[in-house]
Amino acid sequence: MNFLFVPNEIITKCTCLCFEHAAVPDDIYSARKDLDDEDMLVVLEKCYNVIHGRKSSHATSATSTTTEDSQIGRHSAEILSRHMKRHIFDAVRLGLTRLDHNLYDIIWPTVKKLPTDSSFRYALEQDFPLGIVAPDFYVYKVFREFLEPIIKNYNNMDQHAELVEHPDAKFIEILEGESDEKNDFVEIKFEFDNKPIISG
């Protein structure tokens, strides 16, 4: 087992170094480095302020003029402001997935300046009802502190309960000793009573 030894004077000078990624050699989810783009860190700080500014405001942007327009996007901002407390934001703002996605790539539907066309805003609200998007699978691991409470809240789950692993997809029952690589064509039909019928 390898241990990481760093003298105390280096630790005090390097406040941005993320030891979690250096100490976990089998981390396959993160980029194993922190977000170091100063411009993006400034943008994320502005996004945090926008999210918490919209919590008490009825407007989604300075260009909103109608009440209907102001309601679009407000729900997602309320959800994010409820779950993105300062300590959570500070914990995840430097996160970077192995595909180089950061926190902005997740929250952009809520913080992006939208056109004044209400149909566009409505479509965005329908596509991203929580105001977040998962650009890759790894965000669920790297930004777990932020995303898990939102997922639990949206699905009316207990916040203290553990999320169970999603079972593997099993479309065809494979008996012991059989190969799952059959050349036969299998067609699955669903009847009105939702019972699958396997034919072929």
Pick from 73-77, 78-82, 113-117: least confident: 73-77
Say which DSSP state 30 is in: B
Q: Count how many residues are written for the chain.
A: 200
| Domain-embedded: residue 78 | yes
Quickly count: other Cβ atoms within 10 Å of residue 12's Cβ. 8
**What pLDDT score does 107 carry?**
92
Percent of the chain with pLDDT over 90: 28
What total number of domains does the chain contain? 1
> For residue range 15-73, what is the model confidence (pLDDT) as tens digits?
344 434 444 567 889 988 999 999 999 999 999 998 888 654 444 443 344 444 445 45
* Residue 104 to residue 44: CA distance in whole angstroms: 6
Q: Is the pLDDT of residue 148 over 50?
A: yes
Parent domain of 125:
27-154
| Domain-embedded: residue 87 | yes
| Domain-embedded: residue 65 | yes
| Domain-embedded: residue 172 | no
Report the pLDDT averaged over residues 164-184: 66
Burial class (CB in 10 A: 0-12, 13-18, 19+), 144: middle
**What pLDDT score does 74 carry?**
67
Q: What is the pTM of this model?
A: 0.62
| Domain-embedded: residue 54 | yes
| Domain-embedded: residue 185 | no
Which residues fall within 8 angstroms of residue 200, CB to CB, at 6 or more apart?
184, 185, 186, 187
Number of Cα atoms under 13 Å in the Cβ half of residue 63: 8
Residue with tokens 């977000």: 35
Q: CATH number of the domain that 48 lies in?
A: 1.10.135.10
| Domain-embedded: residue 83 | yes
Q: Are 187 and 177 in contact (CB under 8 A)?
A: no
Q: Are 47 and 111 in contact (CB under 8 A)?
A: yes
| Domain-embedded: residue 176 | no
Dihedral sign of CA atoms 73, 74, 79, 80 in order? positive
Q: Are 107 and 128 in contact (CB under 8 A)?
A: no
* Residue 134 to residue 47: CA distance in whole angstroms: 17
Both tokens of 122, joined, read 């409505």
